[in-house]
Chains A and B, each alone.
Chain A
Amino acid sequence: SQQGEEDPQALSIQEGENATMNCSYKTSINNLQWYRQNSGRGLVHLILIRSNEREKHSGRLRVTLDTSKKSSSLLITASRAADTASYFCATPSGSWGKFQFGAGTQVVVTP
């Protein structure tokens, strides 16, 4: 079963709007990561939040983590057409270097 599950599966917004997506996971973690995947490309790391952090910012990205609810959210502010991509959360799972990914949220930003 998936460790991370993103919600919603798809999101369509206009440029300038904010995009929020959520990730839920099942087991205890020491960190959670978000990745972006442009169409036909590999995944690119966006941000990592540790279990003792509640919120983290990086440019127009804001990530929150609620370990009591086993959930995280990624907010993209003032979205741009270039933010069109799929966004995945990833959590370490069990042994050495193993990360579990959800199925992603597909974000479409229209000009």
Chain B
Amino acid sequence: DTAVSQTPKYLVTQMGNDKSIKCEQNLGHDTMYWYKQDSKKFLKIMFSYNNKELIINETVPNRFSPKSPDKAHLNLHINSLELGDSAVYFCASSRQGELTGELFFGEGSRLTVL
């Protein structure tokens, strides 16, 4: 069973469109994250949720809106897509926000905006 799964794996779309990426974890973790990895492989945190509550919002444009319907799911909706949004988006989870726990990552969703 995949621990952290995200869909879709690939997403190709036009500028201005709206798209969503879904993430689910079956590890029983309380905390989930969205990270963005750019073309140079630099990984930057975007959001984290703990038990459905937004904890971290790292100065991400308002066009990005995360939603956590329950602690096992964290979705990412992106409005009015721009060329600069092209990246790989990773969902991750960890035990309740602890800074000594490991992160479990999904396989990534590669978004290409044309």
Interface residues of chain A, those whose CB is within 8 Å of chain B, are: 2, 30-31, 33, 35, 37, 40-45, 48, 50, 86, 88, 90, 92, 95-104, 106
A43-B90, A97-B31, A103-B42 as given contacts; A30 in contact with B100, CB under 8 Å: yes
Q: Is chain B's binding surface mostly helix, strand, loop or mixed?
A: strand
Contact with A along B28-67 (1 / 0, CB 8 A): 0001010100001111110010100001100000000000
A30-B100, A103-B41 as given contacts; A95 in contact with B55, CB under 8 Å: yes
In chain B between 79 and 110, which residues have their CB closer than 8 angstroms to a CB of chain A? 90, 92, 94, 97-100, 102-108
Set A40, A48, A90, A98: member contacting B56, Cβ < 8 A: A98
A42-B108, A103-B40, A103-B41 as given contacts; A95 in contact with B56, CB under 8 Å: yes
A97-B56, A97-B94, A97-B98 as given contacts; A86 in contact with B41, CB under 8 Å: yes
